[in-house]
Structure 1
Amino acid sequence: MAGDPPPSSTQLRVNSRSNNVIHPVDIDPPSVQSSAATPVLFGEVKHFRKWVPWLIPCFVVANVVLFIVTMYVNDCPKNSISCIARFLGRFSFQPFKENPLLGPSSLALQKMGGLDVDRVVHRHQGWRLIACMWLHAGLFHLLANMLSLLVIGIRLEQEFGFVRIGLLYVISGFGGSLLSALFLQSNISVGASGALFGLLGSMLSELITNWTIYSNKLAAFSTLVIIIVINLAVGILPHVDNFAHIGGFISGFLLGFVFLIRPQFGWVSQRYASSGHSSVSAKPKFKMYQCILWIISLILLIAGLTVGLVLLLRGVDANDHCSWCHYLSCVPTSKWSCKTEAAYCMSNEIGNQLNLTCSSNGKYAVYYLQDPTTARIQGLCTQLCS
């Protein structure tokens, strides 16, 4: 499953407040002098205007709706013996032992479009690379991710508009899914964490490419870097898909240089001033370093996504070419193990009696069920092997 979202502390101080950015629209027009010269006209500059955020709230609603649909499809009372909050009916949660995040079973997530590498490669279901970023493993997972999305995403949409932030969100999520699929091929992965890390990465590159318009540059830069490092460090815990975080962050970082570039002030003032006050030497819209970063980032992004997709569809396991990369997603300690194995059970039905034996740990259990479905047997097997 996709990694746990960044903690709430990672979203609050990321937002660059309006007083940290100098906007041309905030400059008071100069007073009319006694000469007959025409005063400079100042109006709202479209590159710096505030947008009304609506796309990010729509993304949040879509994630919540899909979680409700997933719980409906899961139908815990029908497919599991014990459920949490059974009074919710088919919306009740799987047992804590199977899913401690208060959510559905892995089988339900797979049905809804969770990232299953085998289905992507051998059944040509590439759409799962996008679908998985709209699903969540549990209620805790959903709430943390959506709170993070609201705090980070709304600020970015206000600054740069819904088109650029919408594309940035989706492409970053795709990049996170792609890297996850190349390294974690035995688990089902879901979550918006890759896209969220893409937004964090874009904030860092936006700060770099628009460096001259920020005050307190070093403070903003160091704070953002610390937040990102802490969130990536959390990803080394077990059951957290840090590869989705890393892939989303890299994609968003490169996209920030492409989508979030701002024109320099000299060009802005020249562009919106009257002809009588235009400067003698025309200034370019963007600085040289901005153009260089734009070109390099676009090339790296296209090349990286293309190569990654080709390798995935050819069935390449990236772990075979990088023996240490698995430590980027989980570091084993005496407190936990990073080994995750799919649940496989030997089953035997005698009338209403179902005998299950977990192949991985040897546990044995007997259940008395009336015509158990395949989904229910799989759910019982997952609980037995947990």
Structure 2
Amino acid sequence: MAEGPPKDIQIRVNSRRGSNVVHPVEVETTPVSLSLGPIVYREIKHFKKWFPWLIPLFVIANVVLFIITMYVNDCPENSDSCVADFLGRFSFQPMKENPLLGPSSHTLQKMGALDVNKVVHGDQGWRLITCNWLHAGVFHILANMLSLLVIGIRLEQEFGFVKVGLLYLVSGFGGSLLSALFIQSNISVGASGALFGLLGGMLSELITNWTIYASKLAAFITLVVIIVINLAVGILPHVDNFAHIGGFLSGFLLGFVFLIRPQFGWVRQRYAPPGHTSGSVKHKFKMYQCILWVISLILLIVGLTLGLILLLRGVDANDHCSWCHYLSCVPTSRWSCKTEPAYCLSNQIGNQLNITCSNNNRTSTYLIPDASSSRIQGLCTQLCS
């Protein structure tokens, strides 16, 4: 029998979004004429543009890890047929096994995909983080990385690499946590939980900095429509919408903490030219901003802590919510939401390898001497597909 059954891949996919959806109104440094001197200009540095380097670095890291994953996968060694054979060990698994042009589920599991059983019973909690840096195929990583560049660079320019970097990482962890609580039979990979966190941060940033936006309602509606459309994509099979939702909620709460801007009166007062008087503004932030900051921080800490405790105790959230599975996949006449991991029985007799798929009872014989466990699992996945 094969050492470990391969599992279906739950990928985290999000479609490409339009750039620069919402823009805060820049503080204009208007000239001030003084009676005893020339016109004076002062730069308001609080709203300076940052040079974006972290988001491109994240993109490079994701691409490099995908290349390493394909090298480890080594399709010619572990499968009878590969797509794009001319790439050698970088060739892709058969389309029937992985239509996204990528590695096998066994390789993703080896590289750090989210596997709830290994997290809970194997003390491998690091998978909640590493799964955000892995992708199931070329199409998967292209969609996510293009979206990351479009959304992330704009946010990093506005708020800097520290805030956006933490927003990305914490949102990715929150997405993995919710995914692990609801999807426990399949592995999960992808960066779209973190990407949805950036979208959630954009929405909360719009809300908390509401007074400084021009065309507030139009910006709000545009952003909400984009979020709803992307969440709607998550009801398709094999897409991990729980990672999307968990990432979005984490980013939304964290946006109230990290992406807050001081009120204009305080900024003008702080950077006013010498001799210039304006109305006195004592507080840097408005009351509603402070309230949202405190509530969001508490909810985020409590939510992540409670979710982690429940996961490590082996709780299956589906047992307490009979309808929640519809948030990730809605069955229709065109597709089914049932995804069963492939289980096989294998028997090696000399150079002859016999494999029987337990899911559909198909049997096949291969002339492979001393087949490795990864080779057997790859053949099992193809046989059960």
Which residue of structure 1 lines up, in the alignment, with residue 26 of structure 2?
23
Q: Distance in 2 between matches of 1:355 and 1:282?
A: 79
Quote the Cα distance in structure 2 between the aligned partners of 1:280 and 1:373: 76
Please tell me the residue identity of whatever aligns with 2:25: I
In structure 1, the partner of 2:252 is: 253
1:242 and 1:328 in contact (8 A); partners too: yes
Local SS of the residue matching 1:67: helix
Q: Matches of residues 136-215 of structure 1 in structure 2 within 5 Å?
A: 136-215=135-214
CA contact (8 A) 1:70 1:108 kept: yes
Instruction: State the SS of the aligned residue for 2:242.
Output: helix
Shift of residue 347, structure 1, vs aligned partner: 1.3
2 CA distance for matches of 1:310 and 1:40?
Answer: 61
Q: Distance in 2 between matches of 1:125 and 1:44?
A: 49
Quote the offset at 1:353 in angstroms: 1.5
Whose RCO is larger (CA < 8 A, sep 6+)? 2
Does residue 12 of structure 1 match 2:15?
no
CA distance in 2, matches of 1:157, 1:101: 30
Partners of 2:300 and 2:38 in 1: how far apart? Answer: 45
Cα deviation for residue 175 of structure 1 reads: 0.2
Asked if the contact 2:11–2:135 (Cα under 8 Å) also holds between the matched residues in 1, the reply is: no
Q: Deviations over 1:329-358 (max 9, x none)?
A: 001111111111111111122221111111
Aligned partner letter, 1:299: I
Cα gap change, 1:74 to 1:94, in 2 (>3 Å): same
Match of 2:332 in 1: 333
**Closer/same/farther in 2, CA of residues 43 and 274 from structure 1, 3 Å limit:** closer
Alpha-carbon contact 1:2-1:192 (below 8 Å) kept: no
Unaligned runs of 5+ in 2: 1-8
CA RMSD of aligned residues (A): 1.4
CA distance in 2, matches of 1:338, 1:2: 12
Distance 2:138 2:205 in 1: 32
Matched, 1:58 2:57: yes
Q: AA paired with 2:370?
A: D
Aligned residue type for 1:350:
I
Shift of 1:115: 0.5
CA deviation after TM superposition for structure 1 residue 13, in Å: 4.7
Q: Is the 8 A contact 1:201 1:253 kept in 2?
A: yes
CA distance in 2, matches of 1:192, 1:168: 13
Q: What's the offset of the Cα at 1:12?
A: 1.0
* Preserved CA contact (<8 Å) 1:50 1:159: yes
Q: 1:143 to 1:175 in 2, by over 3 A?
A: same
CA distance in 1, matches of 2:12, 2:124: 25
Structure 1 residues 285 and 383: CA distance shift in structure 2, 3 A = same
Q: How does 1:276-291 map to 2 (within 5 A)?
A: 276-279=275-278, 281-291=280-290
Q: How big is the shift at 1:98?
A: 0.6
Q: How do residues 56-95 of structure 1 correspond to structure 2 at under 5 angstroms?
A: 56-95=55-94
Q: Structure 1 residues 317, 126: closer, same or farther in 2, change over 3 A? A: same
Query: Is the alpha carbon distance of 1:300 and 1:39 closer, same or farther for their aligned partners in structure 2, counting shifts above 3 Å?
Result: farther
1:228-255 deviations in Å (ceiling 9; x for gaps): 0000000000000000000000000001
CA distance in 1, matches of 2:227, 2:191: 16
Query: Which letter maps to 1:6?
Result: N
Could you tell me how far apart the structure 2 residues matched to 1:257 and 1:47 are?
A: 17
- SS of the counterpart of 2:339? coil
AA aligned opposite 1:12 = G
1:115 aligns with: 114
Hey, what's the Cα distance between the residues in 1 that align with 2:39 and 2:124?
58
CA-to-aligned-CA distance 1:234-290 (integer Å, 9 cap, x gap): 000000000000000000000110000000100000011145334453331011111
- The whole-number CA distance in structure 1 between the counterparts of 2:41 and 2:293 is 29
Which residue number corresponds to residue 4 of structure 2? none
Query: How many residue pairs were aligned?
Result: 377
After TM superposition, the structure 1 stretch with the greater mean CA deviation from structure 2, 312-321 or 271-280, is 271-280
Rate the CA distance shift 1:42–1:312 in 2: closer, same or farther, 3 A.
farther
Deviates most, 279-288 or 157-166:
279-288
Residues 42 and 320 from structure 1, CA distance in 2 versus in 1: closer, same or farther, beyond 3 angstroms? farther
Q: Write the distance in 1 (CA, Å) between the matches of 2:279 and 2:15.
A: 51
1:264-279 map, 5 Å: 264-274=263-273, 276-279=275-278
Supply the distance in 2 between the matched residues of 1:244 and 1:383 (Cα, whole angstroms).
Answer: 27
Q: Is the Cα contact below 8 Å between 2:193 and 2:247 reproduced in 1? A: yes
Check the 8 A contact 2:19/2:150 in 1, yes or no.
Answer: no
Question: Contact 2:265 / 2:279 at 8 angstroms: preserved in 1?
Answer: no
Report the Cα offset of residue 4 of structure 1.
4.3
Specify the code of the residue in structure 2 equivalent to 1:292: I
Q: In the TM superposition, what is the alpha-carbon distance from 1:49 to its structure 2 partner?
A: 0.4
* 2:12–2:193 contact (8 Å) kept in structure 1: no
* d(CA) in 2 for partners of 1:13, 1:166: 19
Classify the secondary structure of the residue corresponding to 1:357. Answer: strand
- The alpha carbon displacement at 1:2 in A equals 4.6
Work out the CA distance in 1 between the residues paired with 2:340 and 2:25. 53
Q: Deviations over 1:186-205 (max 9, x none)?
A: 11101001000000010011
- TM-score w.r.t. the length of structure 2 is 0.95
State the identity %.
75
